[in-house]
Structure 1
Amino acid sequence: MEQTSVTPMHRETAADKTRNLTKMALCVAFLAISSYLAFPLPFTPAMVVGTTIIVNMTAFILKPNDAFLVVLAWLLIGAIGVPVLPGGSAGLGRLLGPTGGFYVCFAIAAWLMSKLLNGSNSFKRMVFLGIAVGMPIIYVGGCVSMYLVAHMDVWATLVAAVFPFIFGDVVKVLAGAFLATRINMFLKN
């Protein structure tokens, strides 16, 4: 009979689980707090929000499923009426409104960015993923909801959901990546 070598797998200890759940809970709290850092623009139903920084940070410090669950928890808390959505808003209507696609796609973007980051703590890789993966996913979600709910044509949708936000979102990706690299370095010590 042939014997195969079995490498021991790293088992997550209770301390590891506690640390991970704490990181997740803090990310949900930061998402809620950052949603109050918002201001409207006069020509679009979308607001400039600080939440995008925390979505990026969450994707860059958590495993993919954990990042997805954090954003999903934040969305569910907002959907049941707790004022944690952008601008201190709440309710299912907010998620089904013209800007709801942005918020729903935060979860998809966080999962995919985390998956592609694959545990790296490279600032450049984080920035690349935030700009090349996260921003397009979030913009597509926002465009779809504005197009369908606000009945805008394609050009008007792009003007309202994408163009005014590109520069600011690049800055927010940089901020999220900066925070994540520092947090990851701190947590490894």
Structure 2
Amino acid sequence: MSDTRKLTKMALLIALCCVSAYISFPLPFTPAMVTASTLVFCLIAFMLPPKETFIALCVYVLIGAVGLPVFAGGIGGLGKILGPTGGFIWSYPIAYTLLSVCKGKKHSFFTYFWRSVVITIPITYIFGMIGGMIVTGINFEAALVGYALPFIPGDIMKCAMAAWLGTKAAKLNI
């Protein structure tokens, strides 16, 4: 694949990350939001090799860090990254690059789905909970209830949708 095509693909997927963050809604008992970004991050891991996945997600985090409103709810800036939900943001390059490394050569829905659930959800929640505990001073149980448990069903569904889209993209060689 040419460098121009790789860069264009990465840029389009980063733009999709930015747009997906606006598809979000808050929950009344937590600072974390339900967002479509999880689906897009998994899709990036399925469509790009690990190095490009890492670069794309680091660029996304940097774009938000400098203040562009690309994080959940249309927010950006260092305050978001260092705030109660910043741990989630720090996890993205790590969790989804690891998914890209572990996705395997076989492009099957089950493989993509299972690996995305087993790899990305625990890593993202651990980072999110630790960040929330550090910033807000809550205990582990409160972090588990506010930063992880309510999001598990939705994230599993988003992993399933990403696995389905990822297998379709792989078959079309996109």
Fold-level similarity (TM above 0.5): yes
Letter matched to residue 134 of structure 2: L
Q: What's 1:30 paired with?
A: 16
Post-superposition offset of 1:77: 0.5
Residue 112 (structure 1) aligned with residue 98 (structure 2): yes
Q: What's 2:34 paired with?
A: 48
Post-superposition offset of 1:181: 1.2
Tell me the secondary structure at the aligned position of residue 3 of structure 2: helix
Which of the pair has more CA radius of gyration?
1
- Quote the sequence identity (%): 40
Tell me the secondary structure at the aligned position of residue 118 of structure 1: coil
Tell me the secondary structure at the aligned position of residue 25 of structure 2: strand
Q: What's 2:53 paired with?
A: 67
Question: So what's the TM-score if we normalise by structure 2?
Answer: 0.96
Kept in 2, the 8 Å contact 1:71–1:106? The answer is yes
Which digits, 9 at most, give the CA deviation of each residue in 1:142-162, with x for residues without a partner?
Answer: 011011001111100000011
CA RMSD of aligned residues (A): 1.1
CA distance, structure 2, for counterparts of residue 64 and residue 52 of structure 1: 17
Partner residue of 2:146 out of 135, 141, 160: 160
Which digits, 9 at most, give the CA deviation of each residue in 1:102-132, with x for residues without a partner?
Answer: 1111111111000011343121111111111
Once the two structures are overlaid, the 10-residue window that deviates more, 29-38 or 177-186, is 177-186
CA distance, structure 2, for counterparts of residue 184 and residue 75 of structure 1: 26
Residue 17 (structure 1) aligned with residue 11 (structure 2): no
Residue 180 (structure 1) aligned with residue 166 (structure 2): yes
Post-superposition offset of 1:79: 0.6
Q: What's 1:93 paired with?
A: 79
Post-superposition offset of 1:177: 1.0
**Structure 2 runs not aligned, ≥5 long:** none
Aligned length: 174
Q: What's 2:132 paired with?
A: 146
